Structure 1
């Protein structure tokens, strides 16, 4: 007898003891049991790793140009958070936004999405519906805060970093720029 989803565990077919032993035959798993096993074996999504990184940096001071635990600026925090997840991002907020062709609207934001504000002058990461984690400005610290009406008014767009999208950005980045034509007068 084959187990659900191709998973087979060795357990006694006629055992009176609750302890399974090896080499006694397969046992069929229920759907919920298979789901739990698959979830334990599945890798953590990149957005979750990045979000956990950013949330663990709460309380670290804002430092313009900062990309370490000595201090972060908004894009430096996003850079390091996704780097921790194995995804390379460009350095500045504007470059991070422009690195991805697929944009996410305000109504479709999900945890891990990078959200951009004020003519691409600021970036944060959605932490849960209606909230973001970010490094706000000089004199403040990395924190999670509610997305206000003011933020919605300043919203430019959002991107969802993923390995496929980053791969495309990396390929574009490595391609040398086209030769510029020179006019001779």
Structure 2
């Protein structure tokens, strides 16, 4: 919440400017939880998804085909970095947001560690396969 007023900057992860996922990355980092960088990775990092009716402060909420993320700040509100030309702010969850809602996650260190292992497995080169020739 103390980052409100800082401008949106695409790819931003600092007080010079934040994009939506960069803001979430730094907020959870301050709480000792390491998140992946992008909205898609942040959503995928947790197998347990939270429904609209079960949202609690601290939950990450995803919208518009995972194109945007915010954090529930209090019931019915989220803090986020909306888009170019805007700033980090708290906003009431509108009916429009509900129609664009994809899902939510409740980050925890265990979930992120599991995601990191999946990413590592995906990026580790496969062992060379020995082939025989005739």
Give the TM-score normalised by the residue count of structure 2. Answer: 0.89
**In the alignment, which of 78, 81, 89 is matched to residue 27 of structure 2?**
81
Pairing partner for 1:90 from 22, 33, 36: 36
- Larger proportion of strand: 2
Shift of 1:175: 2.3
1:167 corresponds in structure 2 to: 113
Distance 1:147 1:127 in 2: 11
> Which residue of the partner structure matches residue 2 of structure 2?
56
Structure 1 residues 151 and 176, CA gap change in structure 2 (3 angstroms): closer
Structure 2: 5+ residue stretches without partners: 127-134
Structure with more relative contact order (C-alpha pairs < 8 Å, separation 6 or more):
2
Which residues of 2 match residues 117-128 of structure 1 at below 5 A?
117-128=63-74
Q: Distance in 1 between the 2:17 and 2:122 partners?
A: 33
Residue 109 of structure 1: aligned partner: 55
Scaled by the length of structure 1, what TM-score is found? 0.65
- Measured at CA, do residues 121 and 176 of structure 1 come closer, stay the same or move farther in structure 2, by a change above 3 Å? closer
Question: Per the alignment, in what secondary structure is the counterpart of residue 87 of structure 2?
Answer: coil
Q: What is the aligned residue count? A: 127
Deviations 1:1-53 (A, max 9, x none): xxxxxxxxxxxxxxxxxxxxxxxxxxxxxxxxxxxxxxxxxxxxxxxxxxxxx
Query: Over residues 59-94 of structure 1, what are the superposed CA-to-partner deviations in whole Å (9 max), with x where a residue is unaligned?
Result: 000011100000000000001111111111111111
RMSD: 1.7
User: What are the ranges of 5 or more consecutive residues in structure 1 without an aligned counterpart?
Assistant: 1-54, 180-185
Where does residue 94 of structure 2 map in the other structure?
Answer: 148
Larger Rg: 1
- Deviation of 1:176 (Å): 4.4
Q: Which runs of 4+ in 1 moved over 2 A?
A: 173-179
Indicate yes or no: 2:17 matched with 1:71: yes
